[in-house]
């Protein structure tokens, strides 16, 4: 599964930034919730092309360490990152650092790709020292709901299943002593055409192949007609993204 996700982002390395309209908005919104000044060791998971990194790394005080981790070497090789940021190709679900290593954890538009987000995000939070803070943005159910409906109705393509916001809320509630807030945000992007929408999703690595049904030209045409008829907007077609934005911190003292 993670090999499939890595391959798809490796392929998107060169096209990602031009296509990542929503991801850019999400990174900017998340950065707005992060501390203006960061100190010590910062871990960013799912760095991609560096949209969030370029906003956060300059906030790090002298002597600090910023680790930009991503599953995809292809994304990292295309990433435009500040020179002092360390790049690490690794799986966020098996981060090669000991618990308590970091002072701040950030991740935008990435952790919903985890095979087991609940267990892995909990483990990621444990990488923070007591009192360390985090800011995470994950996409939740409702994202690309139009595409899901058109796909279901016409048999063309498939959509990566996103978990509901309640899944992440339940996971956060289970973390002993962790203080957190969640805000749900929605973003709409209008594309010139269904073809432009699909091209943009591919460019950003947002493709889903598991369980894909045969994509005959007839089904594709039906899919386009359905999408245009149901989700036309402002001379183009609309795609919606539902994002859960979480900020919080580990308890400063051990919880008994």
Ligand X SMILES: C[S@@+](CC[C@H](N)C(=O)[O-])C[C@H]1O[C@@H](n2cnc3c(N)ncnc32)[C@H](O)[C@@H]1O
144 touches ligand X by CB under 6 A: no
Q: Which is nearer to ligand X, 39 or 91 (CB)?
A: 91
Residues in the interface with ligand X (CB under 6 A) total 27
Give the span between the Cα atoms of 74 and 226, in whole angstroms. Answer: 35
113 touches ligand X by CB under 6 A: yes
Q: How far is the CB of 92 from ligand X (least distance, A)?
A: 3
Contact between 93 and 80 under an 8 Å Cβ cutoff? The reply is: no
Q: Which is nearer to ligand X, 70 or 226 (CB)?
A: 70
Which residue from 161, 179, 172 is spatially nearest to 249, judged by alpha carbons?
179
Q: What is the H or E stretch that residue 133 is in?
A: strand 128-139
Binding mask 80-109 for ligand X (x = CB under 6 A): -----------xxx--------------xx
Task: Figure out which of the listed residues 5, 21, 190, 238 binds ligand X, where binding follows CB under 6 A.
Answer: 5
132 touches ligand X by CB under 6 A: no
Q: Name the 3-class secondary structure at 249.
A: strand
For residue 87, the cross-strand partners are 68
Task: Figure out which of the listed residues 42, 45, 178, 198 binds ligand X, where binding follows CB under 6 A.
Answer: 45
Q: Which is nearer to ligand X, 17 or 224 (CB)?
A: 17
* Helical H segments across 47-193, by residue range: 53-56, 73-78, 117-126, 145-154, 165-173
Q: How far is the CB of 120 from ligand X (least distance, A)?
A: 7
Task: Figure out which of the listed residues 46, 117, 132, 157 binds ligand X, where binding follows CB under 6 A.
Answer: 46
Torsion angles phi and psi, residue 242, rounded to 5: -110, 125
Task: Figure out which of the listed residues 66, 104, 114, 231 binds ligand X, where binding follows CB under 6 A.
Answer: 114
Give the span between the Cα atoms of 185 and 202, in whole angstroms. Answer: 23
Give the span between the Cα atoms of 57 and 81, in whole angstroms. Answer: 9
Task: Figure out which of the listed residues 66, 70, 136, 159 binds ligand X, where binding follows CB under 6 A.
Answer: 70
Give the span between the Cα atoms of 104 and 151, in whole angstroms. Answer: 39
Q: How far is the CB of 157 from ligand X (least distance, A)?
A: 19
Q: Which residue has its beta carbon closest to ligand X?
A: 48
2 touches ligand X by CB under 6 A: yes
Task: Figure out which of the listed residues 57, 68, 75, 125 binds ligand X, where binding follows CB under 6 A.
Answer: 75
Contact between 102 and 37 under an 8 Å Cβ cutoff? The reply is: no
185 touches ligand X by CB under 6 A: no
List of residues 6+ apart from 173 with CB closer than 8 A: none
Q: Whole-angstrom distance between the N-terminal and C-terminal Cα of the chain?
A: 37
| Interface positions with ligand X (CB under 6 A) | 2, 5, 9, 20, 23, 27, 45-49, 51-52, 69-72, 75, 91-93, 108-110, 113-114, 205
């Amino acid at each position: 599964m993670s090999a499939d996700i890595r391959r798809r982002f490796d392929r998107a390395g060169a096209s990602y930034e031009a296509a990542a309209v929503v991801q850019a908005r999400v990174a900017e919104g998340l950065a707005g919730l992060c501390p203006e000044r960061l100190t010590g060791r910062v871990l960013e998971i799912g760095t991609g092309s560096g949209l969030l990194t370029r906003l956060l790394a300059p906030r790090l005080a002298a002597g600090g360490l910023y680790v930009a981790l991503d599953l995809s070497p292809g994304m990292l090789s295309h990433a435009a990152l500040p020179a002092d940021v360390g790049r690490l190709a690794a799986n966020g679900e098996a981060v090669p650092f000991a618990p308590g290593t970091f002072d701040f954890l950030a991740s935008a538009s990435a952790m919903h790709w985890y095979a087991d987000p609940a267990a892995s995000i909990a483990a990621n939070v444990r990488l923070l020292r007591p009192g360390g803070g985090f800011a995470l943005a994950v996409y939740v159910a409702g994202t690309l709901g139009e595409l899901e409906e058109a796909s279901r109705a016409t048999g063309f393509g498939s959509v990566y299943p996103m978990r509901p916001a309640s899944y992440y809320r339940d996971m956060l509630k289970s973390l002993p002593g962790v203080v957190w807030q969640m805000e749900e945000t929605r973003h709409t992007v209008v594309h010139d055409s269904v073809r432009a929408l699909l091209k943009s999703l591919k460019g950003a690595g947002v493709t889903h192949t598991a369980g894909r049904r045969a994509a005959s030209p007839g089904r594709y045409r039906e899919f386009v007609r359905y999408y245009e008829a149901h989700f036309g907007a402002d001379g183009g077609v609309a795609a919606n993204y539902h994002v859960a934005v979480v900020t919080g911190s580990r308890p400063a003292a051990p919880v008994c």
